[in-house]
């Protein structure tokens, strides 16, 4: 199963009027990072960055002047996301902006069934919260000390780690994936490897003979109905 953990930064909070100015995405295959990523800054045209948004992500109008507009990056974006589930924290916010950009270009929206909201997952798993990205990083011991400002790619990288932990941790992703030309093939099943083995030599006992004799005497006093007798 292929998923893209992604995040956006925008000029403001109103998707009908504000614009996307940054998109970052991390590719997961069977809940394991492949090393592929997507990252782009976008010129919002005549839309200015709202001061409140600037305080969050620090992306200035001047910085965006020479960046491509959304119509110039849309094909590359769709190619990277093609066939994958879109995974975001508070996905309704990000998807409202993405779909608004698609609508302006006459492109079809991303269907709701193709989107996973990690905030909704976190609220079900940790109903007492808090469930912000920073709070989840603290909960799962993920280092986010370098996150002084919001950034689409950095937040995607952190969210990818959080998402994997919410699904059961990296142990859930262990397996042998078929590889062709150095890349896992999308849609392939994962073959689980049994890593159990027999020791060449048994480990030495950690209790002394005196302790073993004392335990045996105690079990004898408890009688045949004692639970220990079933394991002797």
List active site positions. Answer: 150
Residues 71, 61: Cα–Cα separation, whole Å? 18
**Other residues' Cβ atoms within 10 Å of the Cβ of residue 122:** 23
Helix (H, G, I), strand (E, B) or coil at 216: helix
Pairing of strands 2-10, 20-29: antiparallel
User: Which stretches does DSSP call E strand in the chain?
Assistant: 2-10, 20-29, 32-41, 85-88, 115-117, 179-180, 183-184
Q: Strands, DSSP E only, in 98-228?
A: 115-117, 179-180, 183-184
């Amino acid at each position: 199963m292929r998923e893209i953990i992604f995040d956006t930064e925008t000029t403001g909070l109103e998707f009908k009027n504000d614009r996307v100015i940054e998109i970052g995405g991390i590719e997961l295959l069977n809940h394991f990072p492949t090393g592929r990523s997507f990252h782009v800054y976008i010129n919002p045209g005549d839309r200015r960055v709202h001061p409140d948004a600037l305080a969050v992500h620090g992306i200035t109008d001047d910085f965006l002047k020479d960046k491509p507009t959304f119509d110039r990056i849309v094909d590359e974006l769709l190619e990277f996301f093609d066939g994958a589930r879109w995974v975001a924290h508070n996905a309704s916010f990000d998807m409202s902006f993405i779909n608004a950009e698609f609508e302006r270009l006459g492109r079809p929206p991303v269907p709701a069934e193709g989107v996973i909201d990690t905030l909704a997952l976190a609220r079900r798993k940790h109903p007492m919260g808090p469930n912000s990205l920073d709070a989840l990083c603290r909960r799962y011991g993920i280092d986010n000390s370098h996150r002084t400002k919001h950034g689409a790619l950095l937040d995607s990288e952190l969210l990818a780690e959080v998402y994997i932990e919410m699904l059961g941790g990296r142990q859930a992703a262990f397996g042998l994936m078929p590889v062709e030309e150095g890349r896992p093939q999308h849609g392939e099943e994962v073959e689980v490897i049994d890593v159990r083995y027999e020791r060449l030599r048994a480990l030495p006992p950690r209790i002394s003979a005196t302790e073993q004799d004392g335990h045996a005497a105690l079990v004898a006093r408890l009688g045949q109905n004692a639970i220990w007798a079933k394991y002797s």
